[in-house]
Chain A
Amino acid sequence: MFLSTIASLHIGERGIISEECLDRIPLKLLEMGCLPGTEVELLQIAPLKDPMYICVNGSHLAIRKETACQILITKI
């Protein structure tokens, strides 16, 4: 299946975090619920295209684009 990253989502789109990028997800993000196999939704992008506001596993988080680029997903 075609892999993309959280950074390529449009507002309102969702994806499933890929198992392949486990090592690239910062530990803290993992601990906050950003786990492989879970669904992530892009809720909002800040005016200058960065940071990105996501909802994953019930956590509402803002992360920078550089981090969002690291997290591989399959779009749904």
Chain B
Amino acid sequence: MSNRIKVALIGNPNTGKTSLFNQLTGLNQKVGNYPGVTVDKKQGTCKLSKNKTATITDLPGTYSINPTSLDESIVLKALMTAHRDEKPDVIVVVADIENLKRNLLLFSQIQDLEIPTVLALNMADQLQRKGISIDIPALEKELDTKVVLMSARNNEGIDDLKKIIADYESLKVHSNFNELAQKIDADYFNELSSISKEFTAYEQWMMLTKKHNSLLSAEEKEAIEPFENEIAKQKKYQHKETIYRYQKINTVLKKTYYVDASKATDLRSKLDRVFTHKIFGYVIFFGLLLLIFQSIFDWASTPMDFIDGLFADIAEFTKAQLPAGMFTDLLTDGVIPGVGGVVIFIPQIAILFLFISILEETGYMSRVVFLMDKIMRRFGMSGKSVIPLISGTACAIPAIMATRTISSWKERLITILVTPFTTCSARLPVYAILIALIIPDTKLFGFFSLQGFTLLVLYALGFAAAIIAAYVLHKTLKIKNTSFFVVEMPNYKLPSAKNVLFDVIEKTKAFVFGAGKIILAISIVLWFLASHGPSSFENAEKSVVKNVANQELPKAELSKKVASAKLENSYIGIAGKTIEPLVKPLGYDWKIGIGLISSFAAREVFIGTLATIYSVEDDGEDITTIKQKMASEINPSTSEKRFNFATGVSLLLFYAFAMQCMATLAIVKRETKSWKWPVVQLVSMGVLAYLCAFAAYQILS
């Protein structure tokens, strides 16, 4: 496919770049990875004409080619690559008509790279309403390239853009950098550009300021070293470069861009006065949060029940169709429940990201960042940490990936480390059954369900743990904060259904493929450990049959007893017994120990495991039977109920605090590029969980 035209989309955030990408590529999108970095690469294909196709890469939104966050650094990496065949053939800079001046800064930086560059002016449908007029032919002449007026949302001007992309070879390549360099410091830049013949002066300047010299030869590296040491000078010249670029842009815009100020509407400032109000601002934000959580519970339960039942049916059907044996067992007890365990969370996660995506699209999220920044900073985080912490209530994986927009490494790291404390969807089934066991189903003040209130307390506990842990990390981590904080407050706009939909699909995919693979793999390992064991395992069936030989048991009852005995003697049963002394002070026995171990696949596996241990039919549907079995389980040493109040609270606390998710650990490793942080997380959260569960059990029992 080498004859495909490679197109890169670049632009400021909030310019409608994503809309354009969605419009050009439709559903022909895929998310890949940049080699060596973790940021996702969004690519799609677009048919330009009968015999021309383009591969379009959507680069993260950025204000400048000089990166300040992980997302932005991708832009430069994508453009300055050693492999010529990875370099784009043509770049489309997407600009919004209202902020043209600032958008042109990015354009001028990109144009100097001497790759054919087109300027696409988006939101053209709003020209009249905003009283803006642009002289396109004059602008094309000034910028020495093609300019397209378009509206990605209304699908206007897209065909013009496609034509220009198809005909990219006729675009002029134009660099103003030498002119700029002469103005800043002619001698300095002449000397710098003489280092390498292969790269232009601007490319060398980029390599110097971005400390990105891997493309240079050893001699050239040596020659550039004295330049690298003059950091203050570099900074000063970068400032000058920006000022001169803006001066040039101002002269261009004077000739081509006119605004009738009387037509400007003041919707933004009116809405801002409400949304960032010192009281209403918070009332609205927390109101929205409540509404979102309420809707997740209301809307997700039906599809979740359906998925639950569906996978139980599939397993049953497979079992009936295939001959009994190891392979069938692997499918029906390992793979199918494993996949089901992933799919079951899709409704909750999709609904939460639907809301988050709508709030981001409208521009409201920036106001939340503004409102929350100072509060979050006291705990070593940033206003931008709010979005990951909310996302964490669905799943920590997309939440941790959402921290990439935080430019300060310390703030980002703290956010990553504390996000797993928030109550994710996998904890809910565990909470639900434990609450049902230990909290009486009574009403507080006559109408408020005590069980519901307990769940609310657990949510609050998760957030509180996150905040407190963040504070401790803030005080103990010795990382210097070098970057600074700036958020654009974009215009409010109606969300585009297409953008929201694609965003939800993308985030959900991140969960399914990020967590899914690991959950599935561990489910299979757990299945193996639970269905194999040393010689005692082989004899388990016989001994059960022998023991109950004189009690006329129905066949189903017998097979449950056999399954239970087998599990007890399997590798995982032995593991559970091995850790029993460790978990006994928390009020657990070896059966719960097995549950804890198996929770490392995903927390909700706890219930399925207990169901098997207590030899109840695990059809997932019938929670009451598991509940009854759990309720009637007796602790032999005290001859009291096993799941009494003390053990229940101890377990709830353990699940609230412990880091029992391998998939999250893997993502943390990927995002922090070291094993250090996931290990810190695993150990410290584990110790905290253990101590809290221990204290709770000892005090309450």
Contact = CB atoms under 8 A, between A and B. Distances in A.
Interface of A: 22-23, 25-33, 35-36, 43-44, 46-51, 53, 57-64, 66-67
B484 A47 contact: no
Contact of B485 (A36, A49, A51): A51
B101 A58 contact: yes
A47 B66 contact: no
Contacts of B210: none
A35 B486 contact: no
A61 B272 contact: no
B63 to A, nearest CB: 5
B484 A60 contact: no
A31 to B, nearest CB: 4
B269 interface: yes
20 contacts: A22-B239, A25-B239, A27-B64, A28-B63, A28-B66, A31-B64, A31-B102, A32-B486, A46-B373, A47-B278, A47-B281, A48-B375, A50-B374, A51-B373, A51-B374, A53-B272, A58-B99, A63-B485, A64-B485, A67-B486
Contacts of A26: 484, 486
B366 interface: yes
Given A23-B236, A31-B105, A53 B374 contact: no
B370 A51 contact: yes
A51 B235 contact: no
Contacts of B281: 47
A62 B242 CA distance: 21
Interface stretch (B161-169, B487-495, B607-615): B487-495
Contact of A27 (B239, B366, B369): B239
B68 interface: yes
Given A27-B238, A27-B242, A30-B242, A62 B278 contact: no
Given A43-B269, A53-B272, A62-B369, A28 B486 contact: yes
Contacts of A32: 63-64, 102, 486, 488
Given A44-B272, A46-B371, A51-B383, A59 B490 contact: no
Contacts of A57: 101-102
Contacts of B236: 23
Contacts of B212: none
B238 to A, nearest CB: 6
Contacts of B489: 53, 60-62
Grouping DSSP codes into helix (H, G, I), strand (E, B) and loop, the B interface class, with mixed when no group exceeds half, is helix
B243 A36 contact: yes
B239 A61 contact: no
Given A44-B370, A57-B101, 4 more contacts: A43-B272, A44-B272, A51-B373, A60-B490
B246 interface: yes
Contact of B239 (A23, A43, A48): A23
Nearest to A37: B243
Contacts of B370: 44, 46, 51, 53, 62
Contacts of A22: 239, 243
B66 A33 contact: no
Interface string B342-375: 0000000000000000000000001001110111
B40 interface: no
A71 B208 CA distance: 27
A47 B280 CA distance: 11
Contacts of B63: 28, 31-32
A36 B269 CA distance: 25
B268 interface: yes
Contact of B486 (A23, A36, A43, A63): A63
Contacts of A66: 484
Given A27-B235, A51-B383, A46 B374 contact: yes
Contact of A28 (B373, B377, B484): B484
A53 B487 CA distance: 9
Contacts of A67: 484-486
Nearest to A65: B374
A9 to B, nearest CB: 16
Interface of B: 63-64, 66, 68, 98-99, 101-102, 105, 235-236, 238-239, 242-243, 246, 268-269, 272-273, 276, 278, 281-282, 366, 369-371, 373-375, 377, 383, 484-490
A57 B383 CA distance: 24
A55 to B, nearest CB: 9
Contacts of B246: 33, 35
A29 to B, nearest CB: 6
Interface centre among B64, B272, B489 (most CB of A within 10 A): B489
Interface centre among A50, A51, A63, A67 (most CB of B within 10 A): A51
Contacts of A31: 63-64, 66, 102, 105, 242
B276 A46 contact: yes
Nearest to B281: A47
B67 to A, nearest CB: 9
B433 to A, nearest CB: 41
A34 B361 CA distance: 25
Nearest to B374: A48
A49 B370 CA distance: 11
A53 B276 contact: yes
A40 B371 CA distance: 21
Contacts of B102: 31-33, 57-59
Nearest to B490: A60
A32 B64 CA distance: 8
B411 to A, nearest CB: 12
Contacts of B278: 47
A74 B170 CA distance: 48
A49 B371 CA distance: 10
B92 to A, nearest CB: 20
Given A27-B242, A35-B246, A47-B371, A60 B486 contact: no
Contacts of B488: 32, 59-62
Contacts of A64: 373, 377, 484-485
Nearest to A49: B374
A61 B242 contact: no
Contacts of B105: 31
Nearest to A26: B484
A36 B243 CA distance: 9
Nearest to A32: B63
A25 B238 CA distance: 12
Nearest to A19: B243
A31 B242 CA distance: 6
A50 to B, nearest CB: 5
A44 to B, nearest CB: 5
A62 B374 CA distance: 12
Contact of A62 (B66, B98, B486): B486
A60 B268 contact: yes
A60 B492 CA distance: 12
A42 B482 CA distance: 25
The 9 closest A-B pairs by CB, nearest first: A47-B278, A48-B374, A31-B64, A60-B489, A62-B487, A50-B374, A62-B370, A33-B102, A30-B242
Nearest to A27: B238
